[in-house]
Amino acid sequence: MNTPAEAVAVRILDREFLIACTPDDRAGLVAAAQHLDARLREMRPAMRTATLERLAMLAALNTSHELLAERARNARLVEQIKALDARLEHAFAASIQ
């Protein structure tokens, strides 16, 4: 059975937003909002004349870039682990013969 969504209030740059999410996702949503708020506050002094929309777009672009870089890093690590696993399997098979 699906858990019903509830409205969760989050504050980003002193503005309150109500976002619907399940109770299971609440902690993640609050953490994401806090992360975004911190990123925007970090960027704002360097971009005093930027609109909130531009600031939000740049923060989203930076976060997307970081996510894609981490995904690529994780894919490389998975390949390295698979290669090590294959080497271990080969070495183990050779040792029991």
- Who contacts 37 (Cβ-Cβ below 8 Å, separation ≥6)? 11, 12, 13
Which letter does DSSP use for residue 1 in this model?
Answer: -
pLDDT of residue 78: 98
**pTM of the entire structure?**
0.76
Fold of 6-95: Double Stranded RNA Binding Domain (3.30.160)
- 15 to 4, 23, 44: CA distances (angstroms): 25, 22, 15
- 66 to 11, 50, 52, 62, 90: CA distances (angstroms): 23, 22, 21, 6, 36
**4 pLDDT tier (thresholds 50, 70, 90):** confident
pLDDT of residue 1: 57
